[in-house]
């Protein structure tokens, strides 16, 4: 007997992981609610499929969020939420434009939080559900030029870890996904940069931006295989809270954890010296 199709609500389906996930799920016969700020961008892929609904959604707009969740709730509720909507921003901390980084947080952090809060009551009432938050290796490792972007993705990781512990006994599972370099549009037309570059950062931030531009479209990660990996985690009876995707990302995370452990060990005496003495 085939399993009952689940309701998957996916944000940011125009490109990248959102689109790849929707395509794989449609092929599997799941019920997909594919969203985008501009729904017409999805017609070329999703038109004509009975098991997909294309919905307009800007995650920075509360009325959009509630309208979309109401649609899914009218058809049984959200079984799996994929918080994928987001984009990249490369700028030195000093170069960052206030409007740009505030908007980055509105989408990458506050939009994700609002989406999650909108589906949690239904999941809690049913005693089941899975929230998948797409973060980044940049949410675990900070790199030059990614300070603002990394701040949004570090926030997603912390939010997800806390939610996983809060929701565990409610039947709700949480996974935060950390892709490394993938052949999505992240480093292409979706990437935003500083409006007023500062020459002093030529050999750090600007060099990295040039490198990202050169590898765009040639990254090692395959979005379709990445989507299948995410689905394997959701299908697992014991899904991970953290899921790193791709060999380059895994290497970066492991190197960072090793370096972090060595630094903590080197400063252990100073760390422990910050406590009251045992006899105090």
Q: Which of 14, 87, 101, 135 is catalytic?
A: 135
H/E element, 176 = strand 172-179
3-state secondary structure of 182: strand
Q: Which two tokens stand for residue 193?
A: 């940069």
CB distance 187 to 149 below 8 Å:
no
Q: Are 117 and 71 in contact (CB under 8 A)?
A: no
Concerning whether 153 is annotated as a catalytic residue, the answer is: yes
Q: Which residues contact 37 (CB under 8 A, 6 or more apart)?
A: 14, 56, 57, 58
**Is 135 labeled as catalytic in the residue annotation?**
yes
Strand-pair category, 80-83 with 89-90: unpaired
Q: Which of 87, 89, 148, 149 is catalytic?
A: 149
How far apart are the C-alpha atoms of 123 and 194, rounded to whole Å?
A: 40
For residue 182, count CB atoms less than 10 angstroms from its CB and return exposed for 0-12, middle for 13-18, buried for 19 or more.
Answer: buried
* Rounded distance between C-alpha atoms, residue 186 and residue 212, angstroms: 10
Active site (catalytic) residues: 135, 149, 153
């Amino acid at each position: 007997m085939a399993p009952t199709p689940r309701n998957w609500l996916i944000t940011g389906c125009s490109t990248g992981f959102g689109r790849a996930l929707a395509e794989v799920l449609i092929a599997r016969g799941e019920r997909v609610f594919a969203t985008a700020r501009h729904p017409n961008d999805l017609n070329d892929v999703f038109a004509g499929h009975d098991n997909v609904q294309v919905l307009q959604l800007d995650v920075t707009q509360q009325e959009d969020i509630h309208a979309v969740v109401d649609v899914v709730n009218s058809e049984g509720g959200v079984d799996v939420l994929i918080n994928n909507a987001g984009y990249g921003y490369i700028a030195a901390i000093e170069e960052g434009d206030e409007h740009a980084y505030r908007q980055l947080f509105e989408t990458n952090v506050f939009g994700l939080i609002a989406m999650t809060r909108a589906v949690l009551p239904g999941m809690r009432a049913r005693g089941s559900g899975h929230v998948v938050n797409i973060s980044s290796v940049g949410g675990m490792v900070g790199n030059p030029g990614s300070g603002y972007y990394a701040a949004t993705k570090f926030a997603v990781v912390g939010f997800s870890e806390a939610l996983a512990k809060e929701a565990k006994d409610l039947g709700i599972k949480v996974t935060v996904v950390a892709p490394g370099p993938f052949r999505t549009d992240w480093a292409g037309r979706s990437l935003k940069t500083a409006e007023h570059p500062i020459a002093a950062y030529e050999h750090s931030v600007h060099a990295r931006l040039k490198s990202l531009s050169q590898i765009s479209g040639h990254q090692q990660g395959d979005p379709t295989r990445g989507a299948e990996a995410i689905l394997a985690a959701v299908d697992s009876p014991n899904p991970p809270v953290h899921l790193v995707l791709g060999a380059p990302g895994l290497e970066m995370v492991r190197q960072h954890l090793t370096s972090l452990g060595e630094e903590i060990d080197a400063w252990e005496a100073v760390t422990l010296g910050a406590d009251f003495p045992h006899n105090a």
